[in-house]
């Protein structure tokens, strides 16, 4: 996407200036650093805000080229990006979490309007509960509104998965990414302008422009039991990768689109944490050419999916067996060094043997004691 590339090029100057202030010498090619927060519901939403708060105080946020999230961490991202200057104003983001929140009447009014729409679903309910109840705001802007912003903040990538393709095990049709400029299927390279999410298509042609979903609705995809209905009809995928205005560009044939997408008129997006609890897929390979992934873990989900990377033939570093063995009682930080085109990973479990030793020991021993008592 040319627009993303333009943003990233501008952002690189911010990153370079930040690294110089930290007295970090850069190689001829500036390192591409992505901060990929795990899922984990409210815990990950609050955890991400806390992590970025401290990073801002330490002058580290401006070293980030990208910010990616799944599940609960996307709630925090949506809230953060409501402030165009959030990366230098994390005090406001933290303060927002401690206020009383949104008036019930405001939340019910939004929900009442959604109920009049053609595709009202449970994701609308979860979205308003998340935005109003947890993140303490009703964010009515659209993701595409950020397309015209300058490069003050890291470039955001939100992730979800397509429900039917996930159930059928289709590789290409599973992972769905959303950015301010375009949204679509990561592995197939099928994208549309984000401003067209929700519009109607037929045979790859734009039939009717519908209002783009707001950030309240988008947050509904971060709940494991919510489904975002009809982001855009599957019929548009048979003849195009990118759609600008009402012009469709032929790229693939029907045979290159998974059957799980062609068998329905609609697509259903659900929490990406059901597949992988961190948004690696959009950041693997040549498209964004990431050198370093900073991966804080705020939950007990599966953070490492080397099988997925192998399935889609993307470079991913080998995970030391010790890290996997330490899962129930991890260290506070691990560095996984990538080779050649593999990204290096800094993995930081929030709950670790340094700050939660007693609780982690209890969690690991309790099942053994329970089994012993039953026997």
99-118 pLDDT per residue, tens? 877 778 888 888 888 778 77
How high does pLDDT run on average in the chain? 82
- Give the per-residue SS3 of 228-263: EECCCCHHHHHCCCCEECCEECCCCCHHHCCHHHHC
For the stretch 262-288, pLDDT in tens is: 777 777 888 888 889 999 999 999 999
Between 83 and 221, the more confident residue is: 83
Asked: is 2-316 a CATH 3.40.1090.10 domain? The reply is yes
Predicted confidence (pLDDT) at residue 229 exceeds the cutoff of 70? no
Predicted confidence (pLDDT) at residue 248 exceeds the cutoff of 50? no
For the stretch 40-81, pLDDT in tens is: 888 999 999 999 999 999 999 999 999 999 988 998 999 999
Per the document, the length of the chain is 375
Average pLDDT over residues 86-90: 95
Residues of the chain with pLDDT > 70, as a percent, come to 82
Average pLDDT over residues 156-171: 89
Question: H/E element holding 270?
Answer: strand 268-271
Predicted pLDDT at 177:
94
Of 72-86, 188-202, 211-225, the range with the lowest mean pLDDT is 211-225
- Per the CB < 8 A criterion, the answer to whether 44 and 279 are in contact is no
Predicted pLDDT at 231:
41
Average pLDDT over residues 25-41: 91
What's the angle, vertex CA 46, arms to CA 43 and CA 51, rounded to 5? 115
Give the Cα separation of 171 and 157 in Å (integer). Answer: 20
Q: How confident is the model at residue 245 (pLDDT cuts 50, 70, 90)?
A: very low
Predicted confidence (pLDDT) at residue 356 exceeds the cutoff of 80? no
Predicted confidence (pLDDT) at residue 182 exceeds the cutoff of 90? yes
């Amino acid at each position: 996407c040319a627009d993303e590339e333009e943003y990233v090029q501008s952002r690189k100057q911010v990153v370079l200036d930040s690294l110089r202030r930290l007295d970090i010498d850069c190689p001829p090619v500036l390192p591409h650093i992505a901060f990929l927060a795990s899922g984990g519901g409210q815990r990950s939403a609050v955890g991400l805000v806390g992590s970025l708060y401290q990073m801002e105080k330490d002058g580290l946020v401006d070293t980030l080229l990208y910010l990616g999230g799944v599940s609960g961490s996307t709630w925090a991202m949506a809230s953060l990006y409501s402030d165009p200057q959030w990366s230098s104003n994390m005090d406001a983001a933290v303060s927002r979490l401690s206020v009383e929140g949104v008036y019930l009447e405001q939340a019910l009014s939004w929900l009442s309007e959604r109920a009049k729409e053609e595709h009202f679903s449970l994701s609308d309910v979860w979205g308003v509960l998340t935005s109003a109840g947890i993140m303490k705001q009703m964010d009515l802007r659209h993701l595409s509104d950020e397309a015209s912003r300058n490069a003050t903040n890291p470039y955001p990538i939100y992730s979800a998965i397509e429900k039917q393709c996930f159930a059928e095990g289709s590789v290409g049709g599973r992972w769905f990414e959303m950015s301010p400029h375009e949204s679509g299927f990561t592995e197939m390279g099928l994208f549309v302008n984000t401003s067209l999410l929700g519009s109607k298509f037929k045979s790859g042609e734009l039939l009717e422009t519908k209002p783009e979903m707001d950030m309240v609705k988008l947050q509904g995809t971060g709940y494991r039991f919510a489904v975002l209905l009809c982001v855009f009809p599957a019929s548009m995928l048979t003849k195009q990768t990118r759609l600008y205005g009402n012009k469709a560009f032929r790229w693939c044939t029907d045979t290159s689109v998974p059957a799980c997408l062609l068998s329905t008129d609609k697509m259903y997006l659900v929490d990406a944490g059901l597949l992988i609890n961190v948004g690696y897929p959009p950041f693997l390979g040549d498209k964004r050419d990431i050198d370093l992934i900073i991966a804080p873990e705020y939950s007990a989900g599966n953070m490492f999916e080397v099988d997925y990377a192998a399935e889609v033939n993307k470079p991913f570093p080998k995970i030391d067996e010790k890290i996997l063995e330490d899962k129930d009682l991890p260290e506070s930080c691990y560095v996984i060094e990538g080779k050649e085109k593999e990204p290096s990973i800094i993995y930081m479990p929030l709950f670790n043997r340094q700050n939660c030793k007693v609780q982690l020991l209890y969690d690991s021993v309790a099942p053994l004691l329970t089994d012993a008592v039953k026997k």
